Amino acid sequence: MVEGIQSVSQVTSWLVSGRTLFLAIHILGVACFAYIVAKRLVPLLRAERDLRFDRPLVRLERVFKFWLGQWKHPRYKTAGTLHILIFAGFILLAMRAFAVLIVGVSQNFVMPGLSGRAGQIYDVITDYAATVVFLCMVVAVIRRLVFKPARYEVPARFGKAHTADAVFLLALIAILMVADSLFEAAKAAGQSQLGQPVETLAVLSLPWILQIALLPVATATIGKVYAGAYLLHEVTFYFLLCYRPFGIQFHVETSLFNVYFAKLDREILKPVRWGVSDEHLDQVKSFGVKTFEDFTWKHMLDFYSCADCGRCSDNCPSNAVGRPLSPRFLTIKARDYAFQHYPMFRHSDVGSGSGNGNSKPLIGHLYSEDEIWSCTTCGACEEECPLLVEYIDKIVDLRRGLIDDGNVPQSLQKPLKALESRGNPYGKMEKKKADWANAKEFQQVCQVKTLGKSNGADTLYFVDSITSYDDRMQSIGRATAKILDHVGENFGILGAAERDSGHEVRRFGEELLFTALRDHNVEAIKASGVKKIVTADPHAFNALKHDYKDVPEVEHISQVIAREVKTGKIKFNPLESRDKVYTYHDPCYLGRHNQVYDDPRDVLDAIPGLKRVEMSRSRDRSFCCGGGGLMLFYEPKEEQRMGVKRVQMAAEAGANVIVTACPFCMVNIEDAIKVAGLEGKMTAIDLAELVDQEMVREEQKAV
């Protein structure tokens, strides 16, 4: 307190004493905030279950990394730096804000541990923190109004721009920082004028500058500024606290919980219903998400926690090619729905679950069917989101709801029926599954056994449908078999006993069909007695690794090759053609979903004379080729093909050969090369094909 300047708790120039006024503001502010948060929790209480209370230590570690450590923010340099500075400023200022609030009712309050030297150091740090936060607000407003980053734009179909709301909130925070600094500055200026020991203010900080500006002002005026700044701080603080749950700033309150409860096993798809095992799925009355209340409480928390930063949509390939899907708005629309249907001052007009007559179906009201089918489940949105908002599970759940209601897109009906009857989307005969391996010419080069009671092996090569039946992709199958043979692997295939892995079927929401395919394959794999599994298809790899249980360990062929390059079993001839420039395209289900980024690159780099360049979007920012699996049968509304965008990226990087490690990528990329008019200038090759072509053999064999 400054002798000669009335303490804010004792100010009597208002209708009531300062203490009474500020106590009333505290009580009102806290009560309003508690009421608002309680109302916001109502839909979460009516939502579906979600089991997120396991592994508390792992979750805490992730809170330190992703929330406190702001791990993902630097992926966008300018916005990320701004956010880290603001966040750090808020954390540092938290105690000071609390202490300032208490001063209004208890004039000599000092935070325990912050008296004396420690308090002086803390004050200096927080002077700078307030200054930095204020400056960040100014920069953020300029970015929003002048530079207008494209990812903040709101396409007309999603409503009005969010700029005004964002700028209003930034301005409120700036006012809070100014009020806080002015309060400190007035106190120091008063002390200085009255010849009392002056509180140390950080040089060149906002409070320091304001103090210098106040020094020539009359003491009585400084007293008014002191009390006025305090009142402004109080009102702004509580206004912000209570206003935030009405918009994007709610993430300030919810983000910590959202990160704590975030999905730990990102690659494992959410079950149809938490707590319902596969064996009891037939007892589930309604599959998937049909109404808002069918979302789980955690998915609703996601809606509240989105900061509207646009990073997810900025990286979403569906959004980039003009499909009717933008993950950011999938969330914003749901959040707006929650705000509208769970109002502050009325009872909610909806009940819980899709069985409730008052709940409107989401498809047709909030989302369109095309929007939900447009997702390739590539995972780019989830990889990017700094708040760990989840998308794939929600989209798959919405698809489960559509399928449950019989809303299967026309183009998918035939492949799904074929999968049901024949175990592959092409409707081909099971007995033809091993034709690619049994062809006479190939048998002369490499003999692939079909596993059976009298024909065992250590390793199963799981081929999957596309490589087994597609004429072009069979070349990947043959190359894989030759590599396994070359490294001395005792391997075989399941042949007619192998069904489609069901990876895409599951991601298209057909859970029961998936479980049938999976159970058949698990039985066949167990019967084969193999000790490990290898596949060249990242979709099969992901299914076997994460969707299947009780099967041997699985590896992608790129991992096997990388290992055998290191052991020396695979060696390469120097490349003859020096005018080829290679680039590696990360398949989503090998890279982002399973973090296999280095092995394929190590293999390429081991080929003497191979020149490799990286595309601007690679590794965990790889751009989906257009979706594997059933996406091949789905015709989405789009302005441009994803594959075309991808081959253009390869051309921009200076490459003329795209190497991938997925048969689905190969279909899309080869097709895109033609569509982009790059035939003759650009080619695509699978990693297994390239290795088979370039590895040193005792005697060169060719098919």
Residues 462 and 544: beta-carbon distance below 8 Å: yes
Sheet with strand 491-493: strands edge to edge: 449-450, 491-493, 459-462, 532-535, 553-556
Residue 459, beta-bridge partner list: 491, 532
In angstroms, give the least distance from the CB of 617 to ligand SF4: 12
In angstroms, give the least distance from the CB of 346 to ligand SF4: 28
In angstroms, give the least distance from the CB of 76 to ligand SF4: 10
In angstroms, give the least distance from the CB of 381 to ligand SF4: 3
Give the C-alpha separation, 166 to 144, whole Å. 8
Give, in order, the Cα–Cα distances in Å from 138 to each of 91, 133, 142, 615. 19, 9, 6, 35
In angstroms, give the least distance from the CB of 334 to ligand SF4: 11
The torsion angles phi and psi of 553, rounded to 5 degrees, stand at -60, 145
Give the C-alpha separation, 629 to 631, whole Å. 5
Residues 442 and 485: beta-carbon distance below 8 Å: no
In angstroms, give the least distance from the CB of 303 to ligand SF4: 9
Cβ nearer to ligand SF4, comparing 306 with 632 = 306
Cβ nearer to ligand SF4, comparing 317 with 538 = 317
- Assign 348 to helix, strand or coil: coil
In angstroms, give the least distance from the CB of 140 to ligand SF4: 15
Cβ nearer to ligand SF4, comparing 499 with 645 = 645
Cβ nearer to ligand SF4, comparing 214 with 380 = 380
Cβ nearer to ligand SF4, comparing 492 with 643 = 643
Helix (H) or strand (E) holding 612: strand 611-613
Give, in order, the Cα–Cα distances in Å from 617 to each of 9, 316, 381. 58, 12, 14
In angstroms, give the least distance from the CB of 700 to ligand SF4: 42
CA 635 to chain centre: 25
CB contact set of 602 (below 8 Å; sequence gap of 6+):
562, 565
Cβ nearer to ligand SF4, comparing 288 with 310 = 310
Give the C-alpha separation, 441 to 443, whole Å. 6
In angstroms, give the least distance from the CB of 375 to ligand SF4: 3
Residues 174 and 138: beta-carbon distance below 8 Å: yes
Give the C-alpha separation, 199 to 386, whole Å. 39
Cβ nearer to ligand SF4, comparing 395 with 687 = 395
Cβ nearer to ligand SF4, comparing 324 with 492 = 324
In angstroms, give the least distance from the CB of 122 to ligand SF4: 31
In angstroms, give the least distance from the CB of 409 to ligand SF4: 16
Sheet with strand 657-660: strands edge to edge: 611-613, 581-584, 657-660, 683-686
Cβ nearer to ligand SF4, comparing 288 with 379 = 379
Residues 630 and 504: beta-carbon distance below 8 Å: yes
Cβ nearer to ligand SF4, comparing 375 with 691 = 375
Sequence length of the chain is: 703
Give, in order, the Cα–Cα distances in Å from 387 to each of 247, 251, 303, 337. 16, 9, 11, 20
CB contact set of 697 (below 8 Å; sequence gap of 6+):
486
Instruction: Give residues in contact with ligand SF4 (CB under 6 A).
Output: 306-312, 316-318, 325, 327-328, 331, 375-381, 384-385, 387, 389, 391-392
Cβ nearer to ligand SF4, comparing 210 with 389 = 389
In angstroms, give the least distance from the CB of 411 to ligand SF4: 18
- Assign 115 to helix, strand or coil: coil
Give the C-alpha separation, 451 to 458, whole Å. 10
CB contact set of 294 (below 8 Å; sequence gap of 6+):
47, 48, 286, 288, 353, 354, 397, 401
Cβ nearer to ligand SF4, comparing 123 with 308 = 308
The torsion angles phi and psi of 186, rounded to 5 degrees, stand at -65, -40
In angstroms, give the least distance from the CB of 499 to ligand SF4: 26
Cβ nearer to ligand SF4, comparing 122 with 261 = 261
Rounded to 10 degrees, what is the CA torsion of 639, 641, 646, 648? -60
Encoded amino acid at 368, one letter: S
